[in-house]
A and B are shown apart, each in its own frame.
Chain A
Amino acid sequence: MAIHKISLKVNGQQEELEVPSNMTLMTMLREKLILTGTKNACSNGQCGACTVLMNGQPVQSCLVLAVEADGAEIVTVEGLSKNGKLIPLQELMIEKGAVQCGFCTPGMVMTAYALLQRNPHPTEEQIREAISGNICRCSGFVQLVEAIQAAANLQ
């Protein structure tokens, strides 16, 4: 199987890697860069646990090949907080009780972060639609929506 040399930015850091053709971006992040915040659940583009930002856009990293990310800028959940300080969206998710088992949380944070970048003041309906690609098995989504709404109110 072919091996590809790729050069990309991950959380602001330039990375030079060698990846096989069939390695997904998700696997590359977790296994090569030990950025295990990004989770795998469905491998299918439905659950959103693997959501990262690719060139500013939220994508499901289980459906992107690492080699396709050559030249891209990737942001994972680890890249949002600086020196251990969480961003307001993350703080509010904890405060509002939107984190239970935490497995959906990184993907949810990335999706919500991307939403607030493109739509700083979303309605509740827009929030719900935006996170419809992130499944949470624990909560009823209510606290998640409240946390995102509260983060929007700060903007």
Chain B
Amino acid sequence: MNDVHTGLPKFDYIKPSTIKEASNFIIDHKEESRPFLGGTVVFVHMRDGIWKEKYLIDIKHLEGMKDISFDQKEGLTVGAAVTLNQIAENPDIIKHYPLLVDAANKVGNYQLRNRATIGGSICNSRPDSDIVTACLPYNAILRIYGEKEEFETPLSKFFLSLGKGILKPGELLMKIKFPIPPSRSVGKFIKLGRNRVGDRAIVGVAVLGYPDQRVPSGFTFRLAIASAGPVPLIPEEAVQILQSSKLDEGIIEKASNAAMEAATPMDDTRASAQYRKWMVRNLTRKALLEVVEHLKGLKI
């Protein structure tokens, strides 16, 4: 019978001993099985009948899944099963990857963040994920267990469409790697929700800017925007505008407008598509102005 209080339907809980065992089980039971980590989305979808798998495969206990390590040269490596609170409270991440901390602290609520994981957030392939939006400007790389071998892919290439990422049955996200951020980089994460903390993003913006002598403006900005389309948005034209000429209010305005033009959000209960487009422009502008102020040490 269904769980008497939550209505969670019947399924078999599988706890494999190795990642190979997990992967093989999923391949042998394609269409019928789903791996899970924190379960905060999986259980709700199962309860609501959106997902109906017969087997749920717990992979969070597998080797390396809960590890966090930092190296001054190699950067940060985070296991897929690391929770959002563990990210927000880790001293190396606080010091070197503050966008991840800002984003993690804005997801759901404290209790949820003790279960919700970075790996699950990525694999759900949703454009409104705060932590995904913050990972993108750090050029995060995913290490994935594949049927034949392990392989790596940039996070930016993971998302195919709403709810769909590149993982094939049997492929499992193991770790997320973050190179050392560029020297003197400054970041800003802004999330707009219907309340101050906890709502899914109406729009979210993550900006990482750093001095870059290779480009005419002297600065490069990496941008990622949440809830601006079916997959997380990286507004390439805005990035190019910000590299192209001396940074002033006009260029920031132009880049923010380019981000707005690139956005293809939807209407939902939280906001209309049109409002989201305006907020993409306004929040991109706000984040850029603040980052530029820090980078240049002067207000423009």
Chain A residues within CB distance 8 Å of chain B: 1-2, 4, 20-24, 26-27, 30-31, 40, 43-46, 48, 51, 54, 57-60, 62-65, 67-68, 111, 115, 129-130, 132-134
A68 to chain B, nearest CB (A): 7
A26 touches B12 (CB 8 A): no
Q: Name 22 interchain pairs, CB-CB below 8 A, sorted by A.
A: A21-B12, A21-B56, A22-B2, A22-B11, A22-B13, A23-B3, A26-B5, A27-B6, A30-B5, A31-B5, A43-B44, A51-B111, A58-B114, A60-B115, A63-B40, A63-B44, A64-B39, A65-B13, A65-B39, A65-B43, A115-B110, A134-B109
With contacts A58-B110, A60-B112, A132-B109 taken as known, whether A44 is within 8 angstroms of B44 at the C-beta atoms is yes
A48 touches B13 (CB 8 A): no
Closest 3 CB pairs between A and B? A133-B109, A21-B13, A43-B6
A62 to B109, CA, bound (A): 14
With contacts A45-B111, A48-B111, A63-B43 taken as known, whether A22 is within 8 angstroms of B3 at the C-beta atoms is yes
Residue on A with the closest CB to B109? A133
Is B10 in the interface zone, CB < 8 Å from A? yes
Task: Pick the contact of A62: B2, B5, B12 (CB < 8 A).
Answer: B5
B3 touches A132 (CB 8 A): no
A27 touches B4 (CB 8 A): yes
A4 touches B13 (CB 8 A): yes
Residue on B with the closest CB to A39? B5
A59 touches B4 (CB 8 A): no
B: number of interface residues (CB 8 Å)? 31
A59 to B3, CA, bound (A): 18
Where chain B touches its partner, the secondary structure class is: loop
A70 to B171, CA, bound (A): 27
Chain B residues within CB distance 8 Å of chain A: 2-13, 15, 38-40, 43-44, 47, 56, 58, 85, 108-112, 114-115, 197-198
* A residues less than 8 Å from B115 (CB atoms): 45, 59-60, 63-64
B39 touches A48 (CB 8 A): no
A45 touches B5 (CB 8 A): no
B109 to chain A, nearest CB (A): 3
* A residues less than 8 Å from B38 (CB atoms): 63
B198 touches A24 (CB 8 A): no
* B residues less than 8 Å from A67 (CB atoms): 13, 15
* B residues less than 8 Å from A132 (CB atoms): 109-110, 197-198
**10 further interface pairs, Cβ-Cβ under 8 Å (given A45-B115, A58-B114, A111-B110):** A1-B10, A21-B56, A22-B2, A22-B3, A43-B6, A58-B111, A60-B115, A63-B40, A67-B13, A132-B198
